[in-house]
Amino acid sequence: MDDFRHGVRLTPLKARIFDLVARAGARGIDADEINRIAFDGHSNRDNIKTHVAQINDLLVETDYRIEGTRGGDHPNQQRARGGGKWSWGEPRARYSDDHSWPYRLIKRNVRAVA
């Protein structure tokens, strides 16, 4: 049985991944957490990255996509004093040492065509 998200048919597994990312909100959800919930810990980051890319391919005609949030406005990220480059605040190890950046559902800006 297939599931639809934003008018796009997804397999049950891809729909589960999409729902996990969507429910995570602005904070996002990292690949390890997706692995734990959707795959019972029996997958890896590369496989999850592939599923996310495939979901994005299916969502190409919509206003939505899933993005990894290495940069941007993750709650643990802070601008260095003096407006320098971004640095990570605590808890740092979760995202900086293992490179498991959180995924977030992004609604792209839609511009009118003149």
pLDDT digit string (tens) for 61-71?
A: 999 999 986 64
Residue 9 placed within a domain = yes
pLDDT digits (tens, 9 = 90+) for 17-74: 999 999 999 889 999 999 999 999 999 999 999 999 999 999 999 999 999 866 444 4
User: Which structural domain, as residue segments, surrounds residue 28?
Assistant: 3-72+99-107
CATH number at residue 28: 1.10.10.10
The identity of residue 28, as a single letter, is: G
* DSSP assignment string, 3-63: EEETTEEE-HHHHHHHHHHHHHGGG-B-HHHHHHHHSTT---HHHHHHHHHHHHHHTTTSS
SS3 24: helix
Query: How far is Cα of residue 75 from the mean position of the Cα atoms in its chain?
Result: 14
Q: How many domains does the chain have?
A: 1
Q: Quick check: pTM over 0.85? A: no
